[in-house]
């Protein structure tokens, strides 16, 4: 009997209409993907936290809820969600994030802005240091952080990683826990935030931790807006403790027109474009997870509700 899969992210259906059925067939699954169904007959829910579906109580037969988003903070606290929840770890999203991180790291490392925008035609032949002289710290060593760290390491940047729990990644100095945060940040020239938003990570970059950085350090935040204390960042930019902040995510999106980030000369705003889930690759991740569930294998990217990701 075919599986019934509810695609509960209607605004994304046009992107997945062709890719998802194809991925399910490639995985050897017989399934009907529908936009509406009797909840009691649904085997799997494909979900986005922005979707209208918020009450999972009637989905008594559902074996898993498979999110199309990497972040799950909007759904993880939903008390009606008793089914297993899987977040999206998409190879296409990872590639996009690595490209954004490497691109902006090189932009700031090489000082490209002063040559691209040079209205006074200033001839400044100052060369940047080599990458091996530019310490980088990445906060968050999940799939995205680890991939970005490895890409920067391949360019000879000395990369230090920090995570909430201990990790070992080849070529990186790794720190963990609150005791390791200061060691990871001290003296960093470039700091990249790729953590999920949890109570423990909110405002992880604040007045105290920003003071640990090398003076004039650059902040890149493609992770979550709430990882940074906005007021503390603006103060650090104004004193020169932070030399520039390139921000892709914000507490309120779209970023309000009157927010000081827009007009600050040391802030670059990018409109949440660092990485996106690609339907062609994400559909294969969803199909593989359903195949694993149907064969009794453990689900991939299963969310730990207690930890929030």
Taking CA atoms, 190 is separated from 1, 26, 113, 185, 196, in Å, by 54, 42, 16, 9, 19
Cα separation, 106 vs 102, in Å, equals 6
CA dist., res. 196 & res. 245, Å (int): 19
Does the annotation mark 292 as catalytic? no
The pair phi, psi for residue 113, each rounded to 5°, is -60, -40
Residue 104 is among the residues annotated as catalytic for this protein: no
Which one is catalytic: 87, 108, 197, 224? Answer: 224
d(CA 88, CA 29): 20
Distance CA 190, CA 192 (A): 7
| 104: its two tokens | 């902006």
Coil, helix or strand at residue 111: coil
List, in sequence order, the alpha helices (H) in the chain: 13-16, 19-26, 91-110, 113-116, 143-154, 177-185, 207-210, 230-239, 260-263, 279-294
Handedness of CA 238, 242, 244, 248 (dihedral sign): negative
Residue 226, token pair as written in the block: 């709430």
Rounded CA-CA distance 284/165 in Å is 29
Phi, psi dihedrals of residue 162, rounded to the nearest 5°: -130, 140
Residue 134 per-residue DSSP state: S
Integer Cα distance of 217 and 135 in angstroms: 10
Please say whether the beta carbons of 138 and 125 come within 8 A: no
State the Cα–Cα distance between residues 152 and 158, nearest whole angstrom: 8
The catalytic residue among 272, 278, 291, 305 is 272
Maximum CA pair distance of the chain? 72
Catalytic positions, please? Answer: 224, 272
């Amino acid at each position: 009997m075919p599986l019934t899969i509810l695609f509960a992210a209607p605004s994304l259906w046009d992107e997945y209409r062709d890719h998802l059925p194809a991925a399910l067939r490639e995985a050897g699954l017989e399934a009907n993907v529908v936009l509406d169904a009797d909840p009691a007959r649904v085997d799997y829910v494909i979900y986005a936290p922005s979707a209208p579906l918020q009450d999972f109580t009637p989905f008594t037969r559902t074996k898993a809820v498979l999110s199309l988003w990497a972040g799950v903070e909007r759904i993880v606290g939903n008390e009606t969600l008793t089914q297993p929840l899987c977040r999206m770890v998409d190879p296409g999203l990872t590639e996009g994030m690595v490209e954004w991180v490497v691109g902006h790291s090189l932009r700031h490392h090489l000082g490209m802005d002063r040559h691209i925008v040079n209205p006074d035609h200033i001839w400044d032949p100052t060369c940047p240091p080599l990458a091996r002289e530019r310490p980088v710290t990445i906060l968050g060593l999940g799939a995205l952080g680890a991939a970005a760290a490895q890409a920067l390491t391949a360019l000879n940047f000395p990369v230090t990683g920090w995570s909430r729990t201990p990790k070992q990644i080849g070529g990186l100095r790794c720190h963990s826990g609150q005791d390791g945060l200061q060691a990871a940040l001290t003296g960093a020239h470039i700091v990249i935030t790729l953590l999920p938003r949890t109570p423990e990570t909110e405002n992880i970059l604040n007045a105290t931790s920003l003071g640990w950085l090398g003076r004039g350090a650059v902040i890149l935040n493609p992770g979550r807006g709430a990882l940074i204390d906005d007021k503390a960042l603006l103060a650090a930019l104004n004193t020169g403790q932070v030399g520039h902040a390139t921000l892709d995510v914000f507490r309120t999106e779209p970023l309000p027109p009157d927010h000081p980030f827009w007009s600050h000369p040391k802030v670059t705003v990018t409109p949440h474009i660092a990485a996106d889930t690609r339907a062609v690759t994400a559909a294969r991740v969803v199909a593989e997870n359903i195949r694993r569930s149907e064969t009794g294998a453990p689900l991939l990217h299963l969310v730990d509700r207690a930890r929030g990701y």
